[in-house]
Amino acid sequence: MVLSSMTGFARSHGASGPYTFEWELKSVNAKGLDLRLRLPPGWDELEAFAKKRAAEVLSRGTIYASLNVKRANALSTVRVNEDVLASIVRVAATLTGKIDAVAPSVDGLLAIKGVIEVVEPENDEVEDKAAKDAAAAAFDRALAQLLDMRRREGAALGQILEQRMDEIEQLAKKAEAAPGRKPDAVKARLAEQIAALLETSDRFDPDRLNQEALLIAAKADVREELDRIASHVAQARDMIAKGGPVGRRLDFLAQEFNREVNTCCSKSNDIELTNTGLEMKNVVEQFREQVQNLE
């Protein structure tokens, strides 16, 4: 499987009988899968089909899908409602002898609501069913295009994520080789600290100080964090290589990366190691931002 982005766009056209139609699909980031449809009146039965098909091939993203339908040779006709017009004429005749008013004109009568009716052409059930079936097929085509675009973007994101993993790995090696982590350097720093303490008081127990120094050295060691970072890099590369909907798992891994890097920085008592940790933190944030776009 390949990685897939959550963003994409697709459009498909179709025609059946007197109908022409166009689907437009747009996909954006989301925590889950949400298909939002906009269908013309009378085409609501396509909603269940579209949601089922989208759920079969997508796992995350908000999908905005709109269907625009036009019907050729579907001219509306205008007719006069004879019953309403007759009733109005009778009322006008009754009022003629009672009030001083001008006799109603033809255009005045036709302007009264209900006298003129616009009649829409009757639908053909066979034509309508064929058109809806064709529109469903067009939705499948648009969905396939959307999936293809999301996968192309996912492949590009995969390359970027691999680069971020390379950078994290290189920075971890740099942290591993930091001069301040070497035993001699740690020993020298501790010796200076102990000497400073002994100068301030003669009540310190040298053996106790030695134990405390060893404890401080153990707490300042980032060996465990660097090992976990190496493990996270291996896991991330494995997920990227396998592909599929791994966005949530990579997002969780990005949080773990950040936790380990923060611990490295907090433990560090060497300026070079601290700077390397801050560089790594920046790369981890870039990794996390890209992961947010993955399905």
Amino acid at position 208, single letter: R
SS3 178: coil
241 burial level (CB within 10 Å; 0-12, 13-18, 19+):
exposed
Distances from the Cα of 291 to the Cα of 118, 160, 188, 246, 270, angstroms: 56, 10, 43, 9, 31
How high is the pLDDT of residue 203? 62
Beta bridge partners of 14: 21
Q: Does domain 8-72+125-151 have CATH number 3.30.230.10?
A: yes
Helical ranges in the chain per DSSP H? 46-57, 82-96, 106-111, 125-176, 183-200, 206-220, 223-242, 247-267, 271-291
How high is the pLDDT of residue 22? 97
* Spans of all domains in the chain: 8-72+125-151, 77-119, 153-291
- Predicted TM-score (pTM) of the model is 0.72
Q: For each of the chain's 295 residues, which pLDDT tens digit applies? A: 889 999 999 999 999 988 999 999 999 999 999 999 999 988 999 999 999 999 999 999 999 999 999 987 655 667 777 777 778 777 777 767 666 666 677 777 677 777 777 655 566 788 889 999 999 999 999 999 999 999 999 999 999 999 999 999 999 998 888 765 555 555 566 666 666 666 666 665 666 556 655 555 555 577 888 999 999 999 999 999 999 999 999 999 999 999 999 988 887 777 888 899 999 999 999 999 999 999 9
Unique residue bearing structure tokens 């700077």: 275
Task: Please give the CATH topology (third level) of the domain spanning 153-291.
Answer: Butyryl-CoA Dehydrogenase, subunit A; domain 3 (1.20.140)
Question: What is the dihedral sign for C-alpha 137, 139, 145, 148?
Answer: negative
